[in-house]
Amino acid sequence: MLLLQAILLLLALPSRGQDVPVDEPGVPSLPPKGACTGWIAGIPGHPGHNGPPGRDGRDGTPGEKGEKGDPGLTGPKGDTGEIGVTGAEGPRGFPGNPGRKGEPGEGAYVHRSAFSVGLETRVTISNVPIRFTKIFYNQQNHYDSTTGKFHCNIPGLYYFSYHITVYMKDVKVSLFKKDKAVLFTFDQYQDKNVDQASGSVLLHLEVGDQVWLQVYGEGEHNGLYADNVNDSTFTGFLLYHDID
């Protein structure tokens, strides 16, 4: 063993005539390039520090679909959406079941009561019913031209109106129902002029009630007038009768 080491040492020495560099004091000499050092390995050094983390790797391939989870809690009700476009009309359905029988209706009979009359002469008497003897319509004969009164034969709601010509004197006219005045009209005569006055009212009447016109006050207020070109009229008719 010692012999082998001596041979190796001789091989490592420089050849004669080569310049051997002189080592500077305190600096260890380095073996020449390319020469086998023949040195024995030293003691291993301490482990180095950990290097910085590497970059993130690429995303892996998607895994298999997992199992369906449990339903979550019901969320709050959303806002009402806009009304959609009306769809096409569907096919006609089957006829439904017949409905219940309705209540009995009114009879086919139509209740009629109407009159329209006018003056033929000038009125001179106050505070008595005015007798309109010019008959325009009185088919049911509910107006009595001999008394000047309308007699109710059908209970219900009636409409009455009058249109009078005023001449020579002022006029105060009232419409009576059952001996009580319910409507008043006053017209002041203008000298040398023909004037008109009118009135209308709705009245509910029972069978046997009477309605008429008359001049009230003294004789100076009975200026009702009629001739062949001026009329004074009284009209009334049933709007609808009482059901009960």
Above 50 in pLDDT, residue 20? no
Phi-psi region of 224 (alpha: psi -120 to 50; beta: other; left: phi over 0): beta
Q: Which domain holds residue 163?
A: 114-241
Number of independent structural domains in the chain:
1
Kindly state the DSSP code that residue 147 receives in the 8-state scheme.
T
Contact 242, 155 (CB under 8 A): yes
Answer yes or no: is 213 within a domain. Answer: yes
Strands annotated E in the chain: 114-118, 134-137, 143-144, 149-151, 156-177, 180-187, 195-205, 210-215, 222-225, 233-241
CA geometry: angle 237, 124, 229, nearest 5 deg: 65
Give the separation between CA 183 and CA 217, rounded to whole angstroms.
14
Answer yes or no: is 179 within a domain. Answer: yes
Give the separation between CA 159 and CA 200, rounded to whole angstroms.
7
More confident residue, 110 or 26: 110
Answer yes or no: is 100 within a domain. Answer: no
What's residue 194's pLDDT? 84
**Using CA atoms in the order 135, 136, 141, 143, what is the torsion angle rounded to 10 degrees?**
-70
Above 70 in pLDDT, residue 108? no
Answer yes or no: is 46 within a domain. Answer: no
Q: Which of 124, 228, 113 is nearest to 159 (CA)?
A: 113
What's residue 176's pLDDT? 96
Answer yes or no: is 204 within a domain. Answer: yes
Which range has highest mean pLDDT (6-15, 199-208, 223-232)?
A: 199-208
Taking the model in full, what pTM does it have? 0.56
Q: Mapping DSSP to helix (H, G, I), strand (E, B) and coil, where does residue 7 land?
A: helix
Answer yes or no: is 91 within a domain. Answer: no
Answer yes or no: is 205 within a domain. Answer: yes
Q: The CATH number of the domain where 217 resides is what?
A: 2.60.120.40
What's residue 130's pLDDT? 92
Answer yes or no: is 223 within a domain. Answer: yes
Each as own residue / partner, the long-range contacts of residues 11-14 (CB below 8 Å, 24 or more positions apart, any chain) are: 12/36, 12/37, 12/38
